[in-house]
């Protein structure tokens, strides 16, 4: 069922998960009611933002990109700091992966909610998942529920956070993309933590993606892109 009266804003990173969510939102809310938001937070690989822009354009939805210079100033994280190695290493002072920026998703969703507030949008859609859980506490269902309450109180809004992949495995996310008829779009998404295209195949993000496609018995279109 397509609900046309409500508007939705999709947090689009340019990766497989958020791209699948974009089409989930289009399916649910209708293309005209959907827009997308990305964040330029100094990620080492500009290709992510280029993918997001291309994907939003191909989907025919409005797209805006907000700058965030604060993460780089907070410093010390693998996704923004070239001095930190990416891999399976964990953060020296915690047992979280070293790609963890504390509260990153909380910040993204709060900014998305502020943008939504200004544009009369009541629905946020995010690709976070707790299934193939990689150690990010800001991706869990309980955190999302608490954040939704915080945003509603703090902005006096009726904002609703949708996380359609929350309980889906990577395999099930691939199957969702298939069911939505957008497997071909996956060729334009970016996953690799090392910013390689074709992907490095070695980093945790590449391996998780490959596992998802393998388990779904579907060839990753990215391989042939």
| 150 binding a copy of itself? (CB under 8 A) | yes
Nearer to a copy of itself, 114 or 208 (CB): 114
Give the position of tokens 């939505």.
Answer: 180
- Residues 201, 189, 65, 100, CA torsion sign: negative
| 115 binding a copy of itself? (CB under 8 A) | yes
In angstroms, the Cα distances linking 116 to 9, 47, 88, 110, 132 are 7, 25, 35, 10, 29
Q: Which of 44, 53, 132, 137 is the binder for a copy of itself (CB under 8 A)?
A: 137
| 83 binding a copy of itself? (CB under 8 A) | no
Q: Which of 33, 49, 86, 151 is the binder for a copy of itself (CB under 8 A)?
A: 151
| 99 binding a copy of itself? (CB under 8 A) | no
How is 122-173 classified by DSSP, letter by letter?
-EEE----STT--S-GGGSHHHHHHHHHHHHHHHT---EEE-TTTT--HHHH
Q: Which of 105, 126, 130, 189 is the binder for a copy of itself (CB under 8 A)?
A: 105
| 76 binding a copy of itself? (CB under 8 A) | yes
Least distance CB 164 / a copy of itself (angstroms): 20
Q: Which of 6, 149, 219, 223 is the binder for a copy of itself (CB under 8 A)?
A: 149
Least distance CB 99 / a copy of itself (angstroms): 15
In angstroms, the Cα distances linking 205 to 5, 97, 145, 151, 152 are 36, 12, 26, 30, 32
Q: What angle do CA 65, 189, 217 make, to 5 degrees?
A: 150
| Cβ atoms within 10 Å, residue 53 | 16
Q: Which of 92, 118, 158, 224 is the binder for a copy of itself (CB under 8 A)?
A: 118
Give the position of tokens 């805006």.
Answer: 64
| 160 binding a copy of itself? (CB under 8 A) | no
| 155 binding a copy of itself? (CB under 8 A) | yes
Look at residues 1, 7, 22 and name the one whose alpha carbon lies nearest to residue 158. Answer: 7
Q: Which of 2, 32, 57, 74 is the binder for a copy of itself (CB under 8 A)?
A: 74
Contact set with a copy of itself (CB under 8 A) = 66-70, 73-74, 76, 96, 101-103, 105-107, 110-111, 113-115, 117-118, 137-138, 140, 142-143, 146-147, 149-151, 153-156
């Amino acid at each position: 069922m397509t609900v046309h009266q409500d508007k939705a804003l999709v947090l689009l990173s340019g990766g497989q998960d958020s791209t699948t969510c974009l089409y989930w939102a289009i399916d649910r809310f209708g293309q005209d009611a959907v827009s997308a938001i990305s964040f330029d937070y100094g990620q080492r690989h500009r290709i992510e933002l280029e993918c997001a822009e291309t994907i939003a354009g191909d989907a025919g939805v409005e797209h805006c990109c907000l700058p965030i210079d604060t993460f780089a100033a907070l410093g010390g994280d693998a996704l923004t700091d070239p001095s930190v190695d990416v891999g399976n290493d964990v953060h020296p002072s915690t047992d979280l992966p070293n790609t963890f920026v504390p509260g990153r998703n909380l910040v993204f969703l709060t900014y998305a909610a502020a943008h939504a507030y200004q544009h009369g949008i009541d629905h946020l859609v995010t690709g976070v998942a707790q299934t193939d859980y990689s150690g990010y506490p800001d991706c869990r269902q309980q955190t999302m529920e608490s954040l939704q309450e915080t945003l509603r109180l703090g902005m006096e809004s009726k904002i609703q956070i949708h996380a359609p992949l929350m309980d889906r495995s990577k395999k099930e996310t691939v199957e969702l993309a298939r069911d939505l008829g957008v497997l071909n779009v996956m060729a334009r998404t970016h996953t690799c933590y090392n910013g390689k295209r074709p992907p490095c195949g070695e980093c945790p993000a590449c391996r998780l993606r490959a596992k998802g496609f393998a388990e779904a018995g579907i060839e990753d279109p990215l391989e042939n892109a």
